Protein backbone atom coordinates (compact mmCIF):
# COMPACT_ATOMS: atom_id res chain seq x y z
CA UNK A 1 0.00 0.00 0.00
CA UNK A 2 2.99 2.32 0.38
CA UNK A 3 3.24 2.78 -3.38
CA UNK A 4 -0.45 3.61 -3.68
CA UNK A 5 -0.44 5.83 -0.60
CA UNK A 6 2.33 7.96 -2.02
CA UNK A 7 0.57 8.77 -5.30
CA UNK A 8 0.44 12.57 -5.08
CA UNK A 9 -2.92 13.14 -6.79
CA UNK A 10 -4.89 10.12 -5.56
CA UNK A 11 -8.35 11.33 -4.51
CA UNK A 12 -10.49 8.19 -4.88
CA UNK A 13 -9.48 4.68 -3.81
CA UNK A 14 -11.74 1.65 -4.15
CA UNK A 15 -10.35 -1.53 -2.64
CA UNK A 16 -12.57 -4.44 -3.66
CA UNK A 17 -11.91 -8.10 -2.93
CA UNK A 18 -8.22 -7.47 -2.29
CA UNK A 19 -6.04 -9.98 -0.52
CA UNK A 20 -3.47 -8.45 1.80
CA UNK A 21 -0.42 -10.54 2.68
CA UNK A 22 -0.39 -8.90 6.07
CA UNK A 23 -3.71 -8.89 7.87
CA UNK A 24 -2.90 -5.45 9.26
CA UNK A 25 -2.97 -2.20 7.34
CA UNK A 26 -1.04 0.59 8.97
CA UNK A 27 -1.11 3.74 6.88
CA UNK A 28 2.16 5.63 7.07
CA UNK A 29 2.56 9.29 7.89
CA UNK A 30 2.15 11.45 4.81
CA UNK A 31 0.39 8.75 2.81
CA UNK A 32 -2.97 9.36 1.14
CA UNK A 33 -2.55 13.11 1.60
CA UNK A 34 -5.21 14.00 -1.01
CA UNK A 35 -7.55 11.03 -0.66
CA UNK A 36 -11.17 12.13 -0.37
CA UNK A 37 -13.07 8.87 -0.91
CA UNK A 38 -12.14 5.43 0.41
CA UNK A 39 -14.11 2.25 -0.28
CA UNK A 40 -13.09 -0.96 1.48
CA UNK A 41 -15.10 -3.97 0.29
CA UNK A 42 -14.60 -7.67 1.00
CA UNK A 43 -11.06 -7.31 2.29
CA UNK A 44 -9.26 -9.89 4.42
CA UNK A 45 -7.95 -7.23 6.82
CA UNK A 46 -8.20 -7.92 10.54
CA UNK A 47 -6.54 -4.79 11.93
CA UNK A 48 -6.55 -1.28 10.49
CA UNK A 49 -4.39 1.34 12.18
CA UNK A 50 -4.91 4.93 11.07
CA UNK A 51 -5.53 8.40 12.40
CA UNK A 52 -6.35 11.89 11.20
CA UNK A 53 -2.80 12.46 9.93
CA UNK A 54 -2.98 9.55 7.50
CA UNK A 55 -6.04 10.69 5.58
CA UNK A 56 -6.12 14.46 6.18
CA UNK A 57 -8.62 15.23 3.38
CA UNK A 58 -10.87 12.18 3.62
CA UNK A 59 -14.53 13.12 3.21
CA UNK A 60 -16.29 9.82 2.62
CA UNK A 61 -15.49 6.35 4.00
CA UNK A 62 -17.41 3.24 2.89
CA UNK A 63 -16.88 -0.18 4.46
CA UNK A 64 -18.68 -3.20 3.00
CA UNK A 65 -18.48 -6.81 4.04
CA UNK A 66 -15.07 -6.76 5.70
CA UNK A 67 -15.96 -9.71 7.89
CA UNK A 68 -12.60 -10.12 9.61
CA UNK A 69 -12.03 -6.45 10.44
CA UNK A 70 -11.97 -5.87 14.20
CA UNK A 71 -12.90 -2.18 14.14
CA UNK A 72 -12.74 1.13 12.37
CA UNK A 73 -9.93 3.13 13.99
CA UNK A 74 -11.63 5.59 16.35
CA UNK A 75 -9.19 8.35 15.36
CA UNK A 76 -10.74 8.33 11.87
CA UNK A 77 -13.55 10.39 13.40
CA UNK A 78 -11.06 13.16 14.17
CA UNK A 79 -10.43 13.89 10.49
CA UNK A 80 -11.82 17.43 10.16
CA UNK A 81 -12.95 16.96 6.55
CA UNK A 82 -14.81 13.68 7.15
CA UNK A 83 -18.52 14.04 6.36
CA UNK A 84 -19.84 10.50 5.89
CA UNK A 85 -19.06 7.02 7.15
CA UNK A 86 -21.12 4.29 5.47
CA UNK A 87 -21.03 0.80 6.93
CA UNK A 88 -22.72 -2.07 5.08
CA UNK A 89 -21.78 -4.78 7.48
CA UNK A 90 -22.94 -7.73 9.55
CA UNK A 91 -19.76 -7.55 11.61
CA UNK A 92 -20.91 -6.31 15.04
CA UNK A 93 -17.52 -4.91 16.07
CA UNK A 94 -17.27 -2.76 12.92
CA UNK A 95 -20.83 -1.51 13.45
CA UNK A 96 -20.07 -0.78 17.12
CA UNK A 97 -16.92 1.17 16.25
CA UNK A 98 -18.83 3.26 13.67
CA UNK A 99 -21.44 4.09 16.31
CA UNK A 100 -18.70 4.92 18.82
CA UNK A 101 -17.07 7.31 16.34
CA UNK A 102 -20.40 9.06 15.82
CA UNK A 103 -21.06 9.24 19.57
CA UNK A 104 -17.58 10.63 20.28
CA UNK A 105 -17.94 13.26 17.58
CA UNK A 106 -21.32 14.35 18.92
CA UNK A 107 -19.76 14.67 22.38
CA UNK A 108 -17.16 16.99 20.82
CA UNK A 109 -19.91 19.08 19.23
CA UNK A 110 -19.47 17.69 15.72
CA UNK A 111 -23.04 16.96 14.67
CA UNK A 112 -22.14 17.21 10.98
CA UNK A 113 -20.57 13.75 10.69
CA UNK A 114 -23.12 11.33 9.22
CA UNK A 115 -22.81 7.65 10.04
CA UNK A 116 -25.02 5.38 7.95
CA UNK A 117 -25.26 1.75 8.97
CA UNK A 118 -26.91 -0.99 6.95
CA UNK A 119 -26.95 -4.34 8.68
CA UNK A 120 -29.10 -7.46 8.53
CA UNK A 121 -29.18 -7.82 12.32
Q: CB under 8 Å to 30, separation ≥6 — which residues?
A: 6
| Domain hosting residue 11, numbered range | 2-118
Residue 1 scores a pLDDT above 80? no
pLDDT at 121: 58
Please write the tens of the pLDDT for every residue from 15-56.
Answer: 999 888 888 998 888 889 999 999 999 999 999 998 888 899
Q: How many domains does the chain have?
A: 1
Predicted confidence at residue 49, as pLDDT, reads 92
Q: What is the pTM of this model?
A: 0.93
The C-alpha angle with vertex 62 and arms to 49 and 79, in degrees rounded to 5, equals 55
Residue pair 37/60 in contact (Cβ under 8 Å)? The answer is yes
Amino acid sequence: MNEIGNLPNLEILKLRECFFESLKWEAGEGEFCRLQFLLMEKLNLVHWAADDTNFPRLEHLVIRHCEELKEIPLAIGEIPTLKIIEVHEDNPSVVASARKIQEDQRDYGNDDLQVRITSSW
